[in-house]
């Protein structure tokens, strides 16, 4: 039986959100670098005058500064020094570059994932990327991270070369990936399955846990019902 697991949009959507967040912050950085900080230069140059005694700047006398800001309608707070504004502009370009470096791989990952799939049938595993893994070529599978993280490493040989395929049910339909893995395991010996039980054993264990949980809930419901009826009988007798 052929089973196809399509990509999980919820998993890959997080990369889109990260990219959009980074691009939004990039826009903010460019605004500050091109408009926000440059608009402070005039106010800064008026307030800070080059010092003749040192290489630093001297601030304007407070009374005179109040007169100027009142005349020009500027904010009354002390502006940054011109050199500090230049440094802030450089930092904004640096922050924007960092955000772009983060955003682009996330966008590419999200875009490439759309429409991807993993397919398993009775004889081989195929993927939307063109990978084909015949089951007889599989040497072993490592299920160490399967139950906690949904990851299984499939080790196989292709044209005499040892290769590994990462089987990840976080990226694709989880139930379908479990069915495909069960098909793969059907043709493997127990010693070829490392780090975990067969999928059929895991399914049986999960089903047993569900039944035990349902039985406990039914027992609790019956107990509560009995206690309620006893209380009602006591109230009636009274």
Q: What is the number of other CB atoms lying within 10 angstroms of the CB of residue 171?
A: 19
Burial class from Cβ neighbours inside 10 Å (0-12, 13-18, 19+) for residue 234 reads: exposed
State the pLDDT at residue 74.
Answer: 83
Segment 149-161, tens digit of pLDDT: 889 999 999 988 9
* pLDDT surpasses 90 at 212: no
Percent of the chain with pLDDT over 70: 89
Residue 10, token pair as written in the block: 């919820």
* pLDDT surpasses 80 at 232: no
Rounded distance, CA 182 to CA 178, Å? 6
More confident of the two residues 172 and 198: 172
What are the backbone dihedrals phi and psi of residue 228, each rounded to the nearest 5 degrees, phi first?
Answer: -65, -45
Mean per-residue pLDDT, 18-23 = 96
Report pTM.
Answer: 0.66
pLDDT confidence of 54, banded at 50, 70, 90?
A: very low
pLDDT confidence of 200, banded at 50, 70, 90?
A: confident
Q: How far, in Å, are 24, 41, 84, 110, 176 from residue 60 at the CA level?
A: 38, 15, 17, 54, 72
Segment 107-135, tens digit of pLDDT: 999 999 999 999 999 899 999 999 999 99
Q: How far, in Å, are 37, 95, 171 from residue 92 at the CA level?
A: 10, 5, 35
Q: How far, in Å, are 49, 114, 123, 137, 139 from residue 160 at the CA level?
A: 75, 32, 19, 10, 12
pLDDT confidence of 58, banded at 50, 70, 90?
A: low
């Amino acid at each position: 039986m052929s089973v196809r697991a399509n990509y999980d949009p919820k998993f890959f959507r997080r990369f889109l959100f990260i990219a959009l967040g980074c691009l939004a912050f990039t826009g903010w950085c460019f605004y500050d670098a091109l408009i926000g900080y440059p608009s402070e230069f005039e106010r800064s140059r008026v307030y800070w005058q080059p010092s003749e005694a040192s290489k630093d700047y001297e601030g304007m006398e407070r009374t005179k500064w109040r007169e100027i800001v009142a005349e020009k309608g500027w904010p009354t707070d002390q502006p940054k020094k011109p050199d500090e504004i230049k440094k802030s502009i450089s930092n904004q370009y640096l922050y924007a570059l960092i955000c772009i470096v983060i955003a682009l791989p996330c966008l590419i990952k999200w875009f490439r994932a759309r429409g991807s799939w993993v397919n398993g049938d009775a004889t081989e595993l195929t993927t939307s990327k063109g990978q084909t893994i015949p089951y007889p070529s599989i040497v072993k599978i490592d299920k160490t991270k399967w139950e906690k993280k949904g990851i299984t490493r499939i080790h196989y040989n292709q044209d005499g070369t040892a290769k590994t395929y990462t089987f990840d049910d976080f990226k694709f339909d989880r139930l379908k990936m479990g069915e495909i893995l069960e098909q793969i395991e059907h043709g493997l010996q127990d010693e070829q399955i490392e780090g975990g039980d067969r999928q059929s054993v895991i399914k049986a264990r999960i089903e047993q846990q569900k039944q035990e949980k349902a039985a406990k809930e039914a027992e609790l419901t019956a107990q509560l019902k009995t206690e309620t009826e006893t209380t009602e009988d006591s109230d009636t007798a009274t």
